[in-house]
Amino acid sequence: MSRDTARAATQFFGGRVCLDFANTLDWRTSDDPQELVPDYAALLSWSERRGTLPDAASRKLRPRAASNEAAAVMQTAYALRRDIWTIADRLRAGHAAELRLVNRMLSVAPRQPELVRQDRGYRHALAGTDINEPLWPVLWSLTALLASDDAKRVGCCEAQGCGWFFVDESPNRTRLWCSSEVCGNRERARRAYAKRKGVS
């Protein structure tokens, strides 16, 4: 993650949509966390960058970004994000996930639609008719993660103040950072400085 919120909002180190969504609070465990999706318009922009909504769906939803219903969606989004944090923390500690909010959301979400090809990638064929649509791919990603062996590979960046989650796909499950080039370099420099100064 980066102290530049515009840059951080384009960094996807989680390896799964749901974990990248969990990482939309930059410097999550610091004293000064930075919100990367402060409103519905930002959520749509994040969905476009992450490739979870077709362009046409995003264009249809954008005029509704200032509505009261969009504000309500953001409250649900933040609740889902907090749930993903809790679930990810429990998984990496070897505990069972708490599924109440997830299952409640699944009970009202539609079945996953067919896929469409876009920009050399694939998207769910969401139509842009339901204002909750940006949250559905996050929810589907979370259920896929929980139902797979990847649930045993969830890790959290060990850099001071970061708190970003990822699926550790390293052979020996030894990944320490959300990004070796970003947090890894910063943390190595911090630790080297602290060692020189005799501070932990």
The token duo for 110 is 């539609």
Torsion, Cα of 150, 151, 157, 162 (10° steps): 120
Structural domains of the chain ordered from first start: 5-197 (1.10.3300.10)
Supply the angle between the helices 68-92 and 136-146 in degrees, to the nearest 10.
Answer: 10
CA dist 112 and 94 (Å) reads 29
In a structure prediction context, what are the per-residue pLDDT tens digits for the chain, which is 200 residues long? Answer: 566 778 888 899 999 999 999 999 999 999 999 999 999 999 999 999 999 999 999 999 999 999 999 999 999 999 999 999 999 999 999 999 988 888 988 998 899 999 988 877 889 999 999 999 999 999 999 999 999 999 999 999 999 999 999 999 998 889 999 998 889 887 777 666 566 676 55
* Cβ neighbour number for residue 93 with a 10 Å cutoff: 8
